[in-house]
Structure 1
Amino acid sequence: MFTKSSRKPLGLLAVAAALTLVATACAESDRDSGDGDQPFVFGAAGDITSLDPFLTNDGETYRYSRQVFETLLDHESGGSEIVGGLAETWDQSEDGTVWTFNLRDNVTFHDGDEFNAEVVCANFDRWNNLTGAYQSSNLSYYWQSIFGGFAEPDEDFSTGESRYVSCDAEDELTAVIEISEYSSIFPGGFSLAAFGIMSPTTLETMEGQEVTGDEGNLSLPDFAQNAGSLAGTGPFTVEEWNQDQAEVTLNRHEDYWGEAAGFETMILRGIPDETARRQALEAGDIHGYDLVAPADVAPLEDAGFQVPTRDVFNVLYMAYQQESHDALGEMEVREALSHAVDRQRIVDTILPEGGEVATQFHPDTLDGWSEDVRTFDYDPDKARDMLADAGYEDGFDVEFCYPTEVTRPYMPAPKDIFDVITEDLQEVGVNVEATPYEWSVYSGQVDSGNCPMYLLGWTGDYNDAYNFIGTWFSTHNDAWGMDEDELFDKMTEVSTNPDEEARVAGYQELNEMVMDALPGLPISSSPPSIAFAPEVEPPNVSPLTQENFGEASWK
């Protein structure tokens, strides 16, 4: 740094001062450009709920688990098309009941165990043979949604008959899974993060672990003390789950079969409040966060942060639980409430740019969306007249639930959305009794039918209409409290039809049937944003919110 051409030698104090300035400048440069040894810290909308992704239906848990446990199939980076995961290629029989997976060679688990067809089958057999409280839909929701039930259904949890028949290892790299009937759920179901493949040693660790407590208050097996013993095949290994700090620490898996992760260490930090997430990014405490408040997008971009926006693949709705409130059981009342809500105001004032009013229970980016559903324009005068015709000229009281301490891709500001809807309902004479729940208990209250009206939504897991409307309307459930056997039977008929053209036409008819039954009011679909510091090379952002952080790195 000091050349022989300097005219005078610097004194020792001057040299020391100069070196101090250089060191400070270098440190600041490291912070600005990203240090390869510095942990990448990402602000998630909440903490994970389990180290075992099978035992959750929570998106934040899946954000963690996708980095650690890979699935047989995956989605293209930044898109929704199904591609190979741990299986390079796959085939299905003509009747759609036999699925053959040709597995990747030379893949090892984090603990050194070998990946092969036998361990694939061991994982699927483990899930199918779980008993007792594991069969609670609050723990094994996705298994029951995709595979119907378990080998030995527990009558205390009313699980259905299992769609899973068997898994056979034809050879070391060929796994054959048989199901009992064709369903449009597949192959998308094989891509779900809940079905991340674990090593044989990890399965042994989990054997004999019990779920304790009662339905609604279940305690999961605690692996937090030995998180490092849980091994998948992904680009990161799990080192620690600090539940007190709501942090999960992941380390780069140096022997990953694909391209090595760009970050040596990644920390997922739960920060439920969206303002606190933004402030943490601005302060340099984190290097990225999800679900940016729409009002924060432009200011962050102006300050030099990167704020990519995902494509729309979600829907927000207001639900009417028909069994818990007499008025909501009446079609004319539900129609009136649907006319009372100014959904365009929600889109214009709360949602990010690109949001749109929803007309049905899945976005128009999916095949099966129909132009012929009945719609409900904002018309408070009509709403008041309909309520009067139904015998509620003086209105009525209704409990309305909404979640707190959470944001979701389809619901960036729950309280703000709730306030707009409440104002609209009260304008037509409906007295809203606000009932907030923390997110950790909210879904349980909704699923149990304890909320006459509530806000909820869905971000698609895979590119099929059934993943939306089939999730809600394939059978009676307490969340909706609706009895529509014709609709339920039609859902089964359509989703099990292997003829794609006929299936898409069937989904269009189903969307029309759902809106005729009016179990709730679709509110909106919106493109959620995700933010990164200037020094980060972000991963491809996914419309399914399934980012692979192994793609990201320091610039």
Structure 2
Amino acid sequence: MQLLRLTRTRRAALIGLAGALAVSLTGCAQSQRDEAGGGGSGGTMVFGDTGNPKMFDPVFNDDGETFRITRQMLDTLIQNKPGTAELEPSLATKWEPSNDSKTWTFTLKPGVKFSDGTPFDAAAVCFNFNRWYNMKGAAAQSQMIYYGDVFEGFAKNEGDAGGSPVYKSCEAKDAGTAVLNLNKAKGAFPAAFTLPSFAMQSPTALKQYDADKVTQSGDSFSYSDYAYKHVTGTGPFKFESWDQGKGEITLVRNDTSAEPAKLDKLVFKVIPDENARKQALKAGDIQGYDFPAPADYGLLRNEGEQVLIRPSFNVLYLGINQAGNPKLQDVRVRQALAYGINRDQFVKSKLAEGSEVATEFVPKAVEGYTDDVAKYPYDQAKAKQLLAEAGASNLTLKFYYPTEVTRPYMPNPADTFTAISEDLKAIGITIQPVAEPWNGGYKDDVQKFHKQDIHLLGWTGDYNDAGNFVGTFFGREKPEFGFNNPALFSALSAADAAPPGDQHAKAYQAANKQIMDYLPAIPIAYPTPAIVVGPKIKGVVASPLTDERFNNVTIG
């Protein structure tokens, strides 16, 4: 079968077109229900969140519910054009790499201030980069997931942190020019500069509230008051309050922003149950929510709501922890799990329109995807045969799955667990279910403390580069997967450093082949999540990156 190869530009354009079509097809919905606020600009929008944020300092986060909130308050140097994965200016009006891509020069937007009134300038940019690089303490470094993935190491690595730092230094050439020096080229740039974790924050506030203080007690982490109450950026909104008892985070318009929000207030109300979010929208208690159940798309449209479908830019996977159970170190056992899961049936019965079975860990829209990988179609007989050959016919696995959350790649974790566990039971595997709250220890248990044998997780791309998927998952030894494969790590490192263009894409295609032969985890699906808003809400643009910003929202 001949494959159509799309350039990065064409892929990004298709993503943007799909988002625009979703908006145009749903924007004509009508409803008689009143919304909060009204009359164009001003008013309050209440948005239903699926779970509590972790806190609000993005450098210590890798959680989508947290980033949804911090994106409204904090700006990055570069951002994604609404509805696409294309790059556009934000705090930097221009970014220029040197010939060897080891130096990046940022021309900054003039006259910008943080919400505390202090100036945003090149010195502030360098303060932020130096803060991340010089972060002290094993607890703090362990929580800097994105920094570790992109910049690889610290001035002094502590705890489990390792690797040679990508970052070298930052120079404030003048107030409007920041020069970033790297020890080596990084293929993730410039796209990785859009990451919420690399948002610019006020040096004054960071120092005043001791933002770098992170402590660990057992499996739990705690942060300074800055992370909970005083996060300070240049964005269209600023922090007002977090009522953890009521599950409400309130932001207000930041009048010092270069582009203040049109709304007066933006409230995020935590409603973990999807049906409860739907009922709250109907009652007018909220004006929008994320991740409606796929089965509800038609009903919501018929009731006048706007269902904005995001193009697929994510992957759902079954994680495998080889350190948790020696049997899982046998590739035949991992292959048996893959053959034993009826992914076609799962996608058709549990996921939204447009979702597809995943054949690898890179979505089709991302450079580096290739169809030329080992496939594992549903085959119970082959799965049982492989288990028998490996001496694992009586295999017992601790299967972890999250509760109190809905993710873009996993609209209903309990349903996903049930479907996959029943398939695995059918090939003779005994399943020991372990359910944990998403923000109550689940991610730490499966990603840091490797308590599981298998687990459900996924990823929504942060930027348009294959390294943001497979490099994040398998670029180095991690407790989540519990394996050491130097050849694979080397291949991914080489792909990351390959020059942009065909050489970069082909290097990741080759790495994807290695991954699917080794099978460190099992890709399940490429879902197409949606966001829903009421008929009077204008200005929400569905993003493949779940990067919806509410600065241009009006209530009419």
TM-score w.r.t. the length of structure 2 is 0.91
**Residue in structure 2 matched with residue 181 of structure 1 by the alignment:** 184
- Any stretches of 5+ residues in structure 2 without a counterpart? 1-31
Whether the 8 Å contact between 1:169 and 1:176 is mirrored in structure 2 is: yes
Q: Aligned with 2:307: secondary structure?
A: coil
**Residue in structure 2 matched with residue 455 of structure 1 by the alignment:** 456
**Residue in structure 1 matched with residue 506 of structure 2 by the alignment:** 505
TM-score w.r.t. the length of structure 1 is 0.91
Give distance in 1, aligned partners of 2:218 and 2:98.
39
For the pair shown, which has the larger CA radius of gyration, 1 or 2? 1
Whether the 8 Å contact between 1:337 and 1:425 is mirrored in structure 2 is: yes
**Residue in structure 2 matched with residue 436 of structure 1 by the alignment:** 435
Question: 1:80 offset after TM fit, Å?
Answer: 0.2
Question: 1:257 offset after TM fit, Å?
Answer: 1.3
Structure 2 letter corresponding to 1:281: L
Residue range with higher mean Cα deviation, 369-378 or 34-43: 34-43
Q: Aligned with 1:332: secondary structure?
A: helix
Question: 1:140 offset after TM fit, Å?
Answer: 1.1
Whether the 8 Å contact between 2:35 and 2:284 is mirrored in structure 1 is: no
**Residue in structure 2 matched with residue 150 of structure 1 by the alignment:** 154
Give distance in 2, aligned partners of 1:38 and 1:44.
19
Q: How does 1:91-130 map to 2 (within 5 A)?
A: 91-130=96-135
Q: How does 1:157-172 map to 2 (within 5 A)?
A: 157-172=160-175
Give distance in 1, aligned partners of 2:141 and 2:319.
23
- Any stretches of 5+ residues in structure 1 without a counterpart? 1-26
**Residue in structure 2 matched with residue 20 of structure 1 by the alignment:** none
**Residue in structure 1 matched with residue 203 of structure 2 by the alignment:** 200
Give distance in 1, aligned partners of 2:479 and 2:328.
14
Structure 1 letter corresponding to 2:374: R
Give distance in 1, aligned partners of 2:152 and 2:392.
42
Structure 1 letter corresponding to 2:255: E
- CA gap 1:313/1:216 in 2 versus in 1, 3 angstroms: same
Q: How does 1:259-270 map to 2 (within 5 A)?
A: 260-270=260-270
Whether the 8 Å contact between 2:140 and 2:213 is mirrored in structure 1 is: no
Give distance in 1, aligned partners of 2:469 and 2:353.
23
**Residue in structure 1 matched with residue 526 of structure 2 by the alignment:** 525
**Residue in structure 2 matched with residue 354 of structure 1 by the alignment:** 354
Give distance in 2, aligned partners of 1:333 and 1:542.
38
Deviations 1:410-439 (A, max 9, x none): 111111111111111111111111111111
Give distance in 2, aligned partners of 1:332 and 1:396.
13
Q: Aligned with 2:532: secondary structure?
A: strand
**Residue in structure 1 matched with residue 305 of structure 2 by the alignment:** 305
Question: 1:215 offset after TM fit, Å?
Answer: 5.4
- CA gap 1:72/1:32 in 2 versus in 1, 3 angstroms: closer
**Residue in structure 1 matched with residue 22 of structure 2 by the alignment:** none
Task: Check if 1:296 corresponds to 2:296.
Answer: yes
Question: 1:203 offset after TM fit, Å?
Answer: 2.4
- CA gap 1:133/1:485 in 2 versus in 1, 3 angstroms: closer
- CA gap 1:28/1:472 in 2 versus in 1, 3 angstroms: closer
**Residue in structure 1 matched with residue 238 of structure 2 by the alignment:** 237
Whether the 8 Å contact between 1:400 and 1:435 is mirrored in structure 2 is: yes
Give distance in 2, aligned partners of 1:85 and 1:256.
12
- CA gap 1:467/1:29 in 2 versus in 1, 3 angstroms: closer
Question: 1:134 offset after TM fit, Å?
Answer: 4.7
Give distance in 2, aligned partners of 1:56 and 1:82.
22
Whether the 8 Å contact between 2:35 and 2:536 is mirrored in structure 1 is: no
Deviations 1:291-341 (A, max 9, x none): 111111111111111111011100001122112112211111211121111
- CA gap 1:499/1:70 in 2 versus in 1, 3 angstroms: closer
Q: How does 1:21-60 map to 2 (within 5 A)?
A: 38-60=43-65
Question: 1:142 offset after TM fit, Å?
Answer: 1.2
Match of residue 132, structure 1, among 128, 131, 137:
137
Deviations 1:471-499 (A, max 9, x none): 01111111111221111111111211225
Whether the 8 Å contact between 1:224 and 1:241 is mirrored in structure 2 is: no
Percentage of pairs with the same residue: 39
**Residue in structure 1 matched with residue 3 of structure 2 by the alignment:** none
Whether the 8 Å contact between 1:34 and 1:536 is mirrored in structure 2 is: no
- CA gap 1:337/1:537 in 2 versus in 1, 3 angstroms: same
**Residue in structure 2 matched with residue 494 of structure 1 by the alignment:** 495
**Residue in structure 1 matched with residue 324 of structure 2 by the alignment:** 324
- CA gap 1:387/1:204 in 2 versus in 1, 3 angstroms: closer
Whether the 8 Å contact between 2:352 and 2:527 is mirrored in structure 1 is: yes
Give distance in 1, aligned partners of 2:46 and 2:413.
25
Structure 1 letter corresponding to 2:46: V
Question: 1:209 offset after TM fit, Å?
Answer: 5.5
Question: 1:389 offset after TM fit, Å?
Answer: 2.5
Structure 2 letter corresponding to 1:546: D
Deviations 1:141-164 (A, max 9, x none): 11111111221222x343333221
- CA gap 1:238/1:32 in 2 versus in 1, 3 angstroms: closer
Match of residue 62, structure 1, among 35, 56, 67:
67
Give distance in 1, aligned partners of 2:227 and 2:500.
46
Deviations 1:500-527 (A, max 9, x none): 2111111111111000001111100011
Whether the 8 Å contact between 1:323 and 1:481 is mirrored in structure 2 is: yes
**Residue in structure 2 matched with residue 412 of structure 1 by the alignment:** 411
The alignment covers a number of residue pairs equal to 523
Name the Cα RMSD after superposition.
1.9
Question: 1:29 offset after TM fit, Å?
Answer: 6.1
Question: 1:458 offset after TM fit, Å?
Answer: 0.4
- CA gap 1:28/1:142 in 2 versus in 1, 3 angstroms: closer
